[in-house]
């Protein structure tokens, strides 16, 4: 016996999301958080549509609109205001949520905390700093010291370190870290305008060699400016309220028009842990990876980590997969996070230019290719390229989400049909698959969905927004098996390949 099925170290958005996802499955979760009280200052300021969908799986979907403001666009500008990059966001994104959602991070954490309080399986222990981890064959023992100088020991089947950039868990595991050595120091200014102001586009990177600057929304009634420290400029000089107000003034932000909620310097990094699992101890979020902020993927990547992790842990706890399936977690997510970090670094190398000649050459090159072109749409969510996937495309892609109708219920697919494994098919599943394969899918909690075209009155799930049937047709597929993290496991184009698809999943879970 153990005190918990899992101990989560750290109760930020990443750790809180993991604890809720596992408790919803009925597992006992202890969360050990070194801070005695919630951290009240914002760090992340936005999440994308895919992440909104993942967060909604914790049960907070209906409340997300109350703490977010959809962004209308993201633009890079020259010092003269010409658009080097122009991305237009929509509130009707491909995953059922706005493309980009600005937010106040403490408000998101409050939603997750309220959800956790509804679940009997979660025990959150604040003021508990983990100081030792012992992994044995039967259990993991976690030792923590409390604010009142007590020492407590907890046992669990697995431990996940979601304890941030300065992770004790990562240091304890002594895993090597790949550091790209790309870092700059910036002054961060969180601002509360006293009168409502509209910013179009919502998010802007000013690629001015005199001072690269970032402007982003940060939730209802808030906004953030960031200013890069220049060569020869001291941190002490930059990190003063007087400096913040001086830099904010050209944007119409003064003590008369806004409240300065916070100004502080930070240094971004670009690195990832080379191993995300050691025995029964795992890493997630900033403990596993850090990236420059220019693509807005830091927290999003952490949420992807724990959603990937949660369903695999659930399968191992239920005896439906061997423990070796957990190796696919690091394989999949490390590869994907590495791509996000490299992309963020590439963006940073374009933005963080302080040489006027180099900036002029950059602007001329980009504008020569960009002028006269309309705004672009954001790129699709990054697919998985390795790991627990079938070989047939679109394996690894994130399946879109539209509205569907089942009986008298119409809404987003995840809400109407449910979450977990999903088999989408245009055929009669009872004709395509035999009872043994259907029983295997049922044991996983799979939602087997026969798709019907818009306006259909036949039994099945009606593709109201005409999203799923065209998606299958695009790949010449009649069936699509989707994982609980919304990545496509694989596709089939006839009954024979549908059987093979199900058999492949069963074999992979048994083998790990």
pLDDT digits (tens, 9 = 90+) for 437-473: 999 999 999 999 999 999 999 999 999 999 999 999 9
Q: Six-digit token pair at 330?
A: 């690091």
- Tokens 């919630």: give the residue: 38
From the list 79, 24, 77, 68, the residue with the least C-alpha distance to 46 is 68
Whole-model pTM: value is: 0.97
For the chain, residues with pLDDT lower than 70 are 512
CB 158 within 8 A of CB 27: no
Name 263's bridge partners: 189
Which among 151, 168, 150 is positioned nearest to 159, based on CA atoms?
168
| Residue 394 CB partners (closer than 8 Å, separation 6+) | 383, 475, 488, 491
* Residue-level pLDDT at 227: 98
Best CA proximity match to 479, nearest among 448, 510, 453, 434:
448
Question: What DSSP element (H or E) covers 245?
Answer: helix 241-248
Q: Write out the two tokens for 375.
A: 């705004």
End-to-end CA distance of the chain: 25
Contact 61, 18 (CB under 8 A): no
Beta bridge partner(s), residue 29: 6, 122
Quote the DSSP letter at residue 468.
Answer: H
The answer to whether residues 228 and 265 touch, using CB atoms and an 8 Å cutoff, is no
CA pseudo-torsion sign 75, 76, 78, 82: negative
Q: Are strands 461-462 and 447-452 parallel, antiparallel or unpaired?
A: parallel
* Local structure of 223: helix, strand or coil: strand
| H-helix or E-strand spanning residue 482 | strand 479-482
271, two tokens: 């690195």
Asked if domains 4-67+101-175+276-331 and 403-511 share a fold, the reply is no
DSSP character for 90?
A: -
* C-alpha span between 154 and 411 (Å, rounded): 42
Question: CA-to-CA distance for 212 and 90, rounded, in angstroms?
Answer: 27
Whole-angstrom distance, CA of residue 432 vs CA of residue 428: 6
Of the options 3.30.70.1560, 3.60.70.12, 3.30.460.90, 3.50.50.60, the CATH number for the domain spanning 4-67+101-175+276-331: 3.50.50.60
Extents of the domains making up the chain: 4-67+101-175+276-331, 403-511
Residue 396 DSSP SS3: coil
CA angle 124, 105, 88 (to 5 degrees): 140
Cα–Cα distance measured from residue 68 to residue 190, given in angstroms and rounded to the nearest whole number: 16
Whether omega for the bond prior to residue 201 falls within 30 degrees of 0, making it cis, is: yes
Answer yes or no: CATH 3.40.30 is held by domain 403-511. yes
Strands 258-267 and 223-228, by their bridges, are unpaired
* Residue 358 to residue 350: CA distance in whole angstroms: 10
Structure tokens at 291: 């990236």
What is the radius of gyration, based on Cα positions, of the chain? 24
Question: 338 is written with which tokens?
Answer: 């590495």
Spacing of C-alpha 62 from chain mean position: 18
Cβ contact 188:243 at 8 Å: no
> Is 216 in a helix, a strand, or coil?
strand
Q: What is the largest CA-CA distance in the chain?
A: 72
User: What pLDDT is recorded for position 17?
Assistant: 98
Q: What is the DSSP string of 135-173?
A: E-SS-EEEEEEETTS-EEEEEEEEEEE---TT-HHHHHH
Q: d(Cα 215, Cα 223) in Å, to the nearest integer?
A: 8
| Cβ neighbours for 190, distance < 8 A, ≥ 6 positions apart | 41, 42, 218, 222, 223, 224, 260, 261, 262, 263
Distance (Å, rounded) from C-alpha 438 to C-alpha 498? 11
pLDDT recorded at residue 129:
98
d(Cα 37, Cα 35) in Å, to the nearest integer? 5
- The mean pLDDT value of the chain amounts to 96
Q: Specify the pairing of strand 422-425 against strand 447-452.
A: parallel
Q: What is the pLDDT of residue 512?
A: 60
Tokens at 225, concatenated: 């400016």
């Amino acid at each position: 016996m153990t005190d918990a099925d899992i101990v989560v170290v750290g109760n930020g958005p990443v750790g809180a999301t993991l604890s809720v996802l596992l408790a919803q499955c009925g597992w006992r979760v202890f969360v050990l958080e070194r801070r005695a009280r919630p951290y009240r200052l914002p760090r992340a300021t936005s999440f994308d549509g895919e992440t909104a969908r993942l967060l909604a799986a914790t049960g907070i979907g209906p409340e997300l609109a109350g703490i977010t403001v959809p962004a209308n666009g993201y633009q890079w500008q020259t010092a003269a205001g010409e658009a080097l990059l122009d991305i237009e966001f929509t509130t009707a994104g491909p995953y059922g949520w706005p493309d980009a959602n600005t937010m106040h991070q403490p408000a998101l954490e409050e939603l997750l905390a309220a959800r956790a309080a509804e679940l009997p399986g979660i025990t959150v222990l604040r003021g508990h700093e983990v100081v030792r981890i012992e992994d044995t064959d039967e259990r993991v023992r976690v030792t923590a010291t409390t604010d009142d100088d007590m020492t407590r020991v907890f046992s669990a089947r697995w431990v996940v370190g979601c304890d941030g950039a300065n992770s004790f868990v990562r240091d304890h595991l002594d895993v090597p870290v790949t550091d790209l050595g790309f870092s700059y120091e910036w002054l961060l200014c969180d601002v509360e305008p006293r009168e409502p102001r509209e910013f179009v586009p919502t998010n802007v990177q000013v690629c001015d060699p005199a001072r690269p600057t970032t402007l982003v929304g940060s939730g209802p009634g808030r906004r953030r400016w960031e200013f890069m420290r220049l060569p020869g400029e001291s941190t002490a000089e930059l990190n003063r309220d007087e400096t913040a107000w001086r830099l904010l003034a050209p944007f119409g932000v003064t003590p008369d028009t806004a409240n300065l909620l916070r100004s502080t310097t930070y240094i971004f990094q670009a690195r990832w842990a080379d191993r995300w699992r050691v025995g029964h101890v795992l890493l997630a979020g900033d403990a596993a990876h850090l990236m420059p902020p220019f693509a807005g993927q830091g927290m999003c990547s952490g949420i992807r980590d724990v959603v990937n992790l949660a369903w695999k842990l659930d399968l191992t706890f239920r005896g439906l997969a061997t423990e070796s399936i957990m190796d696919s977690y690091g394989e999949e997510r490390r590869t994907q996070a590495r791509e996000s970090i490299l992309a963020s670094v590439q963006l940073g190398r374009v933005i963080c230019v302080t040489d006027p000649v180099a900036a002029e050459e950059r602007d001329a090159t980009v504008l020569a290719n960009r002028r006269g072109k309309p705004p672009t749409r954001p790129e699709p969510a990054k697919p998985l390229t390795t790991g627990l996937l079938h070989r047939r495309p679109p394996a690894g892609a994130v399946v879109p989400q539209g509205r569907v109708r089942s009986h008298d219920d119409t809404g987003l697919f995840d809400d109407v049909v449910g979450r977990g494994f999903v088999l989408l098919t245009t055929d009669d599943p009872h004709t395509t698959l035999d009872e043994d394969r259907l029983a295997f899918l049922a044991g996983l909690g799979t939602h087997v969905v026969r798709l019907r075209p818009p306006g259909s009155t036949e039994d099945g799930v009606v593709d109201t927004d005409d999203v799923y049937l065209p998606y299958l047709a695009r790949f010449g597929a009649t069936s699509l098996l989707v994982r609980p993290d919304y990545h496509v496991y694989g596709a089939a184009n006839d009954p024979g390949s549908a059987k093979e698809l199900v058999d492949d999943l069963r074999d992979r879970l048994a083998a790990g």
